[in-house]
Amino acid sequence: MNIYETLKQLTDAHGVAGNESSAAAVALSLLRQFEPNAKTDCHGSVTGFIQSAVENAPTVMLDAHIDQIGLIVTHIDDKGFIKAEPCGGVDRRCLAARNVTIHSGKSLLKGTVCTLPPHADSSKSDSANEVMKADSIMIDAGLNKKQAEEMVSLGDVVTIDGELTLLTEALVSGCALDNRAGVCAVLYALFLLKDFVLKCNIAVSFSVQEEIGCRGAEVTAYNAEPDYAVVVDVSYGLSPGCTDSKTAYKCGKLGKGPMLGYSPALNREMFEGLKIIADENKIPYQLEIMNGDTGGTNADSVSIVKGGVRTSLVSIPLRYMHTPVETVDLSDIETTGRLIAEYIKFM
């Protein structure tokens, strides 16, 4: 399996939270290489179940959310400018003058987020240094009001343009790496396990709506009823601005392996088991210790579904989260997949 090519297929597809059908179709096609009966549930999450030959085998769920942050159309003004608001935690510092795509039911429309040049601002404020407010985002698609109303519907989603780009042989940058990188890691783990005789069942969950409240994974975990869950996501990668002693220790270094998360909300035994497996197989890893929940990942929701699920969190370090230039190291996706595969073999 070529990790870069798989990641590109996943990131080329759009999937703003609540409207993930395009990304889900790609993920479903990729998953069916390993689980021919994979399907989508009523909310659009992609699910599969790989059966062990062992009777009464435990079930391990591998979850990675497939949705991405974006915008949603809320109004069209008298001049044809399109008002949009964040769908998920968009970093609004990066929106001004960005090219975007409006995903209309009729077509894909290109647009640009409107911005006022600082020297044209007649107000007293220093607009060049102001963050765009969530309710002040306007998109110019070159349309008048009549054209806009014919071509755009309220509720259409908007993605921020950003094609997957190779920065080096290892580093890639682009949109939706949160969390298509995690989806790619799970697929790579399944690739490594395809000829292995499983001692546990694997429930796969590429869940929707994580960016708006971890909704999809609650449903997939409830339906799968797993004994264990490994949630795969991204976490903060070390970058300029995070280099002082007060913040650097909270960040993972790109290229140094997955971040093994532990918090009071996670299962300590699984955390320790992942470390042992990584050490025995010489898989590099980093620790991410949290003093509360996991900061809004699916692990928080999955762990308390139904009668409770033993849950662990494995994260890929990522720079510039929730921007169009999210950056990861391909080797971290590979080692994350390797660690998951070796952990499944151990189960």
3-state secondary structure the chain: CCHHHHHHHHHHCCCECCECHHHHHHHHHHHCCCCCCCEECCCCCEEEEECCCCCCCCEEEEEEECCECEEEEEEECCCCCEEEEEECCCCHHHCCCCEEEEECCCCEEEEEECCCCHHHCCCCCCHHHCCCCCCCEEEECCCCHHHHHHHCCCCCEEEECCCCEECCCCEEEECCHHHHHHHHHHHHHHHHHCCCCCCCEEEEEEECCHHHCCHHHHHHHHHHCCCEEEEEEEEEECCCCCCCCCCHHHCECCCCCCEEEECCCCCHHHHHHHHHHHHHCCCCCEEEECCCCCCCCHHHHHCCCCCCCEEEEEEEEEECCCCCCEEEEHHHHHHHHHHHHHHHHHC
| Confidence (pLDDT) at 125 | 56
Please tell me which residue, 248 or 215, carries the higher pLDDT value: 215
Mean pLDDT along residues 172-181: 97
Strands lying side by side in the sheet with 259-262: 39-40, 46-50, 201-207, 59-65, 228-236, 310-318, 259-262, 286-289
- Give burial (CB, 10 Å; 0-12/13-18/19+) of 186: buried
What is the average pLDDT value for the chain, to the nearest integer? 93
Please indicate, yes or no, whether residues 36 and 143 belong to a single structural domain of this protein.
no
Distance between CA atoms of residues 7 and 152, nearest Å: 30
CA 175 to chain centre: 10
Q: What amino acid positions are annotated as catalytic residues? A: 210
For 207-237, b/e burial (b = at least 16 CB within 10 A) is bbbbbbebbbbbbbbebbebbbbbbbbbbbb
Distance between CA atoms of residues 241 and 247, nearest Å: 9
Please indicate, yes or no, whether residues 147 and 181 belong to a single structural domain of this protein.
no
| Confidence (pLDDT) at 239 | 85
Please indicate, yes or no, whether residues 101 and 212 belong to a single structural domain of this protein.
no
Looking at 98, 130, 160, the residue that finishes a domain is 160
Max CA separation in the chain (angstroms): 74
| Total tally of structural domains belonging to the chain | 2
| Confidence (pLDDT) at 129 | 63
Please indicate, yes or no, whether residues 40 and 97 belong to a single structural domain of this protein.
no
* Cβ atoms < 10 Å from Cβ of 174: 22
Which structural domain range is residue 134 located in?
A: 70-160
Question: Per-residue pLDDT tens for 303-344?
Answer: 999 999 999 999 999 999 999 999 999 999 999 999 999 999
Band of the pLDDT at 265, cuts 50, 70, 90? very high
User: Is a pLDDT exceeding 90 seen at residue 130?
Assistant: no
Please indicate, yes or no, whether residues 292 and 223 belong to a single structural domain of this protein.
yes
Question: Per-residue pLDDT tens for 181-236?
Answer: 999 999 999 999 999 999 999 999 999 999 999 999 999 999 999 999 999 999 99
φ/ψ of residue 151, rounded to 5: -105, -20
Residue at 170 is within a domain: no
Question: Per-residue pLDDT tens for 18-66?
Answer: 999 999 999 999 999 999 999 999 999 999 999 998 999 999 999 999 9
Residue at 167 is within a domain: no
Please indicate, yes or no, whether residues 196 and 53 belong to a single structural domain of this protein.
yes
User: Is a pLDDT exceeding 60 seen at residue 126?
Assistant: no
Residue at 166 is within a domain: no
Band of the pLDDT at 243, cuts 50, 70, 90? low
Smallest Cα–Cα separation from 172: which of 90, 257, 92, 254? 254
Distance between CA atoms of residues 335 and 315, nearest Å: 11
Residue at 168 is within a domain: no
Cα pseudo-dihedral 73, 76, 81, 86, rounded to 10: -20
Please indicate, yes or no, whether residues 192 and 98 belong to a single structural domain of this protein.
no
| Confidence (pLDDT) at 108 | 92
Looking at 137, 160, 183, the residue that finishes a domain is 160
